[in-house]
Structure 1
Amino acid sequence: MLYAVLTLGGVGIFFGLLLGLAARFFAVPTDPRIEAVREALPGANCGACVFAGCNQYAEAIVEGRAPLNACIPGGSMAAEAIAAIMGQEVEAVKPMVAAVFCRGDRRLARDLFIYHGVSDCEYAQQYHGGFKACPDGCLGLGNCVRACPFEAIIMGPEGLPLVDGASCTGCGLCIEACPRDIIRLIPQGNRGHLVRCSSRERGKKVSAICEVGCTGCRACVRVCPREAITMEGNLAVIDLEKCDDCGLCLEKCRFNAIEPRRAGAAGRVETEAATA
């Protein structure tokens, strides 16, 4: 018995030493900058930088395969810290926030049929193109809510996602999760007005299915003194760089498709917070 124990112990020690020597002999040197860069990142592993996680992004930076400012959640602070580690200069990251370009909730937009399927926007979209009469309206089944790693989106009581502007980092994962492309990134802040609609239809086709849809009447385009509003197909689009918040478009829009951007109280989740 004693002999067996000693034999097994000796074999264990031998292979332990062998593995230790092999690990030292075959060890791959690691650039200490990789760990330093990783520490400068927020650690969200959200994938907004197009890499699997913060570790992979840090390795890509040190190896020269990625820009220093690709971390959207980390923003300028992370980019500047990484630039200092790498001894390089970097352009400032413009803070962005997600905005939902649809106001057609359960009260204001018509449904084609009652949907009892899986509570998933992708699945609902595949079933006869979705249950909403507007082919470009929010389905309200929460894919964007589930995709957000920062819990910055909740589903409102009337079936529209609400974005907390204070928590949103602009990572863009909600955009990828939306099968109808109604979520976009816009610059942070409260300047300007937004046409909160994504409809590609025009006139009576829009008003027949949604009370707050843009009908493409061009009234806002004609009234804007700054020429900040243009038409993209049948949809009015406002250039936030040109808009000076005069509010004339807001007054002119008969369907309330235009909303001003407002900065809500810190942490408050509301419709306006989606663009704050």
Structure 2
Amino acid sequence: MNVVVITVLTLAILGTIAALVLYFVAQKFKVFEDPRIDQVEEVLPAANCGGCGFPGCRAFAEAMVKSDDISELNCPVGGADTMNAAAGILGKEIAASDPMIAVVKCNGTCDNRPKTNFYDGATSCAVAASLYAGDTGCSYGCLGCGDCVEACTFDAIEMDEKTGLPVIKDNCVACGACVDACPKNIIELRKRGPKDRRVFVSCVNKDKGGVAKKACSAACIGCKKCMKECPFDAITVENNIAYIDFNKCKLCRKCVAVCPTNAIHEVNFPPKKVKPAAEKPSAPKAETAKAEAKTSENITSSDDKNKEE
């Protein structure tokens, strides 16, 4: 009986000592977590999309709390309202940022860019890009396997069966997942623009003009007409491809009118008003007017002659 009691007491004493040791170790190495992290995380959209540049909303909240300057931090999904709410919790100021949206920089529709071969492999742009240049004469364009669609967690992008190109929907939150998923880098995040209007060069082909035009009838040929026409110095041409700086562009659309291949896209603009052509007088009316003018001239001449006599 004594053995049992001694055993129980011994185990109880050892357990107590172990608990005390663990308690003091936990207090010694205790990591303090700012309670504001939970508060900031609550106002975030909980999308965990990585569009902010962090693994998830929790990591983004920690970065906001620990950063003295949060002007460079942005949650593209929540937008300005979410960032203002988070900044209010922290008592910090946030710089206003323009809403962004993804755009597809490829004109290579089935009509503009005919196929030269057939790809019979895994339905993945990443796999196809690692195996060969593409199934058309353009090695820069969209491969059409839909990696961008699978990467989007907001159902904001879909493949157009007629054109074979991805289409960005209005509910795009600019998380950048499709940008990272595209191995050809044809998707870019740009400003939505006033009234959701934007102008951009929908091509990434860096080949010289003749080669690019042969591969795709709507390719940018680097002719620099748009750059010369732009009054705001918003367009540059480098490596045979034009680029429109959305921070400088004033949406005048003069570049669109001079592009010989229609490589520049204008989105959500009202149709331009076409001025009615001036009507040319018909042949009989023109001859009648000419005859009347001749008759009037003869009468005037006759009157002058009578006066002289």
TM-score for the superposition, normalised by structure 2: 0.71
How far is 1:155 from its partner?
0.6
Residue 269 of structure 1 corresponds to: none
Residue 230 of structure 1 corresponds to: 236
Deviates more, 1:129-138 or 1:146-155: 129-138
Deviates more, 1:52-61 or 1:120-129: 52-61
Q: What does the per-residue CA deviation read over 1:157-194, in whole Å, with 9 as the maximum and x for residues that have no partner?
A: 221000012x1111111111010111111111244522
2:265 aligns to what SS in structure 1?
strand
Q: How does 1:18-97 map to 2 (within 5 A)?
A: 26=26, 30-64=33-67, 67=70, 69-97=73-101
* Residue 248 in structure 1 maps to residue 254 in structure 2: yes
How far is 1:216 from its partner?
1.1
Take 1:203 and 1:56, find their aligned partners in 2: how far apart are those partners? Answer: 46
The structure-2 alpha-carbon separation of the partners of 1:63 and 1:219, relative to structure 1 and needing over 3 Å to count, comes to closer
Take 1:110 and 1:98, find their aligned partners in 2: how far apart are those partners? Answer: 25
The structure-2 alpha-carbon separation of the partners of 1:182 and 1:63, relative to structure 1 and needing over 3 Å to count, comes to same
1:208 aligns to what SS in structure 2?
helix
Take 2:52 and 2:254, find their aligned partners in 1: how far apart are those partners? Answer: 39
Residue 207 of structure 1 corresponds to: 213
- Does the 8 Å contact 1:231/1:237 carry over to 2? yes
Residue 111 of structure 1 corresponds to: 115
Letter in 1 for 2:201: V
Gaps of 5+ in 2: 1-14, 271-309
How far is 1:101 from its partner?
0.5
- Does the 8 Å contact 1:132/1:139 carry over to 2? no
TM-score for the superposition, normalised by structure 1: 0.79
How far is 1:250 from its partner?
2.2
* Residue 179 in structure 1 maps to residue 183 in structure 2: yes
How far is 1:226 from its partner?
3.7
Q: What does the per-residue CA deviation read over 1:17-51, in whole Å, with 9 as the maximum and x for residues that have no partner?
A: x99xx79x948564321211111101100012232
Q: What does the per-residue CA deviation read over 1:63-116, in whole Å, with 9 as the maximum and x for residues that have no partner?
A: 449947332212221211111111212212321111111110222113331001
Take 1:52 and 1:235, find their aligned partners in 2: how far apart are those partners? Answer: 34
- Does the 8 Å contact 1:191/1:240 carry over to 2? no
Deviates more, 1:156-165 or 1:188-197: 188-197
Letter in 2 for 1:253: C
- Does the 8 Å contact 2:43/2:86 carry over to 1? yes
Residue 10 of structure 1 corresponds to: none
- Does the 8 Å contact 2:220/2:263 carry over to 1? yes
Take 1:249 and 1:91, find their aligned partners in 2: how far apart are those partners? Answer: 31
Residue 164 of structure 2 corresponds to: 159
Residue 139 of structure 1 corresponds to: 143
How far is 1:221 from its partner?
2.3
2:85 aligns to what SS in structure 1?
helix
Take 2:40 and 2:48, find their aligned partners in 1: how far apart are those partners? Answer: 14
Residue 106 of structure 2 corresponds to: 102
Deviates more, 1:229-238 or 1:138-147: 229-238
- Does the 8 Å contact 1:144/1:153 carry over to 2? yes
Letter in 2 for 1:90: I
- Does the 8 Å contact 2:148/2:178 carry over to 1? yes
Give the alignment partner of residue 152 of structure 2, picking from 145, 148, 152. Answer: 148
Take 1:82 and 1:95, find their aligned partners in 2: how far apart are those partners? Answer: 17
Sequence identity of aligned pairs in percent? Answer: 39
Take 2:96 and 2:148, find their aligned partners in 1: how far apart are those partners? Answer: 27
The structure-2 alpha-carbon separation of the partners of 1:65 and 1:244, relative to structure 1 and needing over 3 Å to count, comes to closer
Q: Which protein is richer in helix relative to its size?
A: 2
The structure-2 alpha-carbon separation of the partners of 1:244 and 1:208, relative to structure 1 and needing over 3 Å to count, comes to same
Letter in 1 for 2:123: S
Point out the structure with max Rg over C-alpha.
Answer: 2
How far is 1:119 from its partner?
0.8
Take 2:249 and 2:233, find their aligned partners in 1: how far apart are those partners? Answer: 8
Gaps of 5+ in 1: 1-14, 265-276
Higher relative contact order, chain-length normalized (CA < 8 Å, sep 6+): 1
